[in-house]
Chains A and B, each alone.
Chain A
Amino acid sequence: EPEVTQTPSHQVTQMGQEVILRCVPISNHLYFYWYRQILGQKVEFLVSFYNNEISEKSEIFDDQFSVERPDGSNFTLKIRSTKLEDSAMYFCASSEDRQWRTGGTEAFFGQGTRLTVV
């Protein structure tokens, strides 16, 4: 069964350092998402991406964050200068089509990258 893969599974970084979280979405999917989940809290939307550009972003997704699809398979989230409060599980997701166009479609999530900022 196709799946979304994320690497690394766990990353520890020092405050102020840049990190890049990597995702390989399902191959025929067109829409990509990043979510984060701070320990014990809800899954929060960060950004959606389609056709090599950001479709939507939340208020969390400030100038410290950026996303990129550097090639035909990878989808990355970069945090430029990490803060302690960036410590969370980061989930990548992909879907075949945009949620609204088909009246809703399921998103497939990766297993997450646990980011710890020290």
Chain B
Amino acid sequence: AQSVTQLDSHVSVSEGTPVLLRCNYSSSYSPSLFWYVQHPNKGLQLLLKYTSAATLVKGINGFEAEFKKSETSFHLTKPSAHMSDAAEYFCFSGGYNKLIFGAGTRLAVHP
């Protein structure tokens, strides 16, 4: 069965330090994987997507993610956190009629 697991419900970092948001997936085929960001009282916005091209994917706002098939992971990273990065982040696995979101990771950024 297809599934997505976000390993941390909350992550807290200091401004200027690296960000790591973890996502593992389970799929019987090579999935399409996405990261979305949701700011308070807003809809979701696409950060980046992996669709079986390059395994290292660069997104908006300095975020990137690496697809690792051997680890079934698609972790989201950013070298230096900014206050405006505070939001909820969702890992998402796309499949025909099987669109699976992770439970979300809330990122807090402290001065």
Is A bound to B? no
A interface residues (Cβ-Cβ under 8 A, vs B): none
